[in-house]
Amino acid sequence: MDLQLIGKTALVTGSTAGIGFAIARTLAREGTSIVITGRTQDRVDNAARRIREEIGDAKVSGIAADLATARGSAKCIEAVPSVDILVNNLGVYEPKPFEKITDDDWHSIIETNFMSGVWLCRHYLPRMEAANWGRIIFISSESAVNIPVEMIHYGVTKTMQVALARGLAETTS
């Protein structure tokens, strides 16, 4: 499949494993320059190496930063000031009864699953608009609509992502 992404740069958050890694690998196959993100340099380096081994001509770099913090997101932005594609995949979950979800739990999951995307979109969207080309994708979940009773806090953050994505789409039409 040719998605016509040769020459484009994509930042994929939470891309050292799982869905994020699969997205990064797929975009690399399409000729996109990929920026892998993860919390540790070892995981970032390992993911980049695996993509290069599988796709010989892959253009892959990586940033080790905790994007669940404003400081980590700023580090990422400083290292990669401009992208064509932003895939907000970073996310965590934890089964926990509602009455046991602490304020710290709420803050942590909101900063990881939602605010990381806010911080990155706030920086990259104006640059995409100035270039008259760009894509921002949020990897959400059916939990945005069907809130799981054992992970209400997770479902709420997925709903927040959908609302943010929809609102940003409205600003660009």
Q: Provide the annotated active-site residues.
A: 154
Of 6, 163, 161, the closest CA to residue 90 belongs to 161
SS3 71: helix
Report d(CA 157, CA 34) in Å as an integer: 26
Residue ranges of alpha helices (H) inside the chain are 18-29, 41-54, 70-79, 103-110, 116-131, 152-172
Report d(CA 29, CA 72) in Å as an integer: 28
Phi-psi label, residue 164: left if phi above 0, alpha if psi -120 to 50, beta otherwise: alpha
Q: Are residues 120 and 68 in contact, defined by beta-carbon separation less than 8 angstroms?
A: no
DSSP bridge pairs for 11: 35, 86
Token readout for 19 is: 């869905």
